[in-house]
Amino acid sequence: MLIIRTMDSSDWNQVSNIYKEGIETGMATFETIVPSYEKWDSAHLKNCRFVAISKKEIAGWVILSAVSGRHVYRGVAEVTVYIGKNYRGMGIGKALMQHLILESEKEGFWTLQSGIFPSNKASLKLHESVGFRKIGIRERVGNLKGEWIDNVLYERRSTVVGIK
């Protein structure tokens, strides 16, 4: 049974371990080390933070970051989603994303966006499965260990928030 609940600071050890697994794949982030909890916490919104619990451990997590401090963009956020290596391919990412979409709309978000490495086929497929659409590619946007990497841009527009 999968349980999705709000993430809290006591989850950091398991959340950071999953993040580290993602870093080690070389196709999830430009980051090369896991930051301190304080740095990570300050870079993300305080609402819309969720973990998926399976077998009494955190199997994955999803969180939002503001795309801008400008008031006009208050309803636009960037999605970060990570699934533990022992739980990939089990539908946990989809469950987390569906939960995030519903909760983000309750919080007034009308656009969710993601930047995904082209090599991360599972993440591309996940985003498409929950209604995100490809809107472009930022070519050679970042350098990871000496290699320039593109970032595929995806967005999902709410059908209930920001439509008028």
Taking only the tens place, the pLDDT of each residue in 97-141 is 999 999 999 999 999 999 999 999 999 999 999 999 999 999 999
- Residue pair 149/117 in contact (Cβ under 8 Å)? The answer is yes
Inside any domain, residue 68: yes
pTM over 0.85: yes
Q: What is the CATH number of the domain that holds 53?
A: 3.40.630.30
Range of the domain at 34: 3-157
Tell me the pLDDT tens digit for each residue of 31-62. Answer: 999 999 999 999 999 999 999 999 999 999 99
CB 61, CB 18: distance < 8 Å = yes
- 59 SS3 class: strand
164 within a domain of the structure (yes/no) = no
163 inside domain: no
Token pair of 121, please?
Answer: 């086929």
